[in-house]
Amino acid sequence: MIMPITLEQIRRFLGRPLQDPYGRTFGKVVGINANLKDEVTGVGIEVGNGEFVQCPGDRVTISADTLVLAPTWKVEAEEFRKEFDVVTRRLKALDELFSVGDIQKDVYEDMRKQHEDAINELKSKRKSILDTLSQRSSTLNTQLRQLQTHLAGNKMFHASGEFDDQSYKAVSDAIDTGLVRAMAERKEVDSIFGYLSKLDSSSSTIPAPATQTPVAAPSPTPSAASQPKDQVMVLHVRET
């Protein structure tokens, strides 16, 4: 279980930049909310142009000397993975216990119904996450295309003598960094999308309820009294 970040841990980042997991600056920390347990419940961020956003505290982590804000899609996908893993393992265990007669039928049916409902809810959540990942992947592809176009244009202007060496190097370094960060995020987005897509109808369908394996009663061993006696033929011999 991940422990919540406390106000004492995070207060040193007040007024400092907040980054995403890929090294891009998301904004500057301008406020922190905490409950009576000193646990951070929200972080106020200035994202530029005088705009402010409030992010949930569970999306924020501390990495070395940097405050990191996880993307919403990443948090949702991780929560889904954990929930799906738990419910499928429990359902499998429940079926196995019932099949060997360790759980009464009425109790088994009630518990199985609860887990089936949970899986159906997760199916809807999975579809929503896949849609979000698809949109994010499309956005990143557009960004990469734009960065690559700018890089090619800068090379052309530098080769033609319209950009000096110093300016060209500065913008090229910035674009290269942007490309690396965008590709890193797209790789992770595509990886999670692939994992969720594999949970197709064959693996995410609720398995059929288990049936109890009947225990065969031992065949009775015939007793000596029940065994048929051999018939004895008596021959009377008459002397002549």
Are residues 18 and 30 in contact, defined by beta-carbon separation less than 8 angstroms?
Answer: no
Tokens at 93, concatenated: 């265990």
Among all chains, which residue has been given the structure tokens 């909310």? 33
Residue 168 lies in a domain: yes
Alpha-helical segments (H) within 18-164 = 72-99, 105-159
Q: Say yes or no: 135 and 175 in one domain.
A: yes
Residue 94 lies in a domain: yes
**Residue 131's pLDDT is what?**
96
Instruction: Give the CB-side neighbour count of residue 227, counting CA atoms within 13 A.
Output: 7
Report the amino acid identity of residue 73: W
Q: Say yes or no: 16 and 78 in one domain.
A: no
Average of per-residue pLDDT across 160-169: 95
Q: Average pLDDT, whole number, for the chain?
A: 86
Are residues 29 and 18 in contact, defined by beta-carbon separation less than 8 angstroms?
Answer: yes
Are residues 172 and 151 in contact, defined by beta-carbon separation less than 8 angstroms?
Answer: yes
Q: Say yes or no: 148 and 183 in one domain.
A: yes
Q: What is the CATH number of the domain that holds 54?
A: 2.30.30.240
Cα–Cα distance measured from residue 36 to residue 4, given in angstroms and rounded to the nearest whole number? 13
State pLDDT tens for residues 87-137: 999 999 999 999 999 999 999 999 999 999 999 999 999 999 999 999 999
State pLDDT tens for residues 181-207: 999 999 999 999 999 998 864 444 555
Cα–Cα distance measured from residue 19 to residue 60, given in angstroms and rounded to the nearest whole number? 10
pTM of the complete model: 0.76
| Number of structural domains the chain divides into | 2
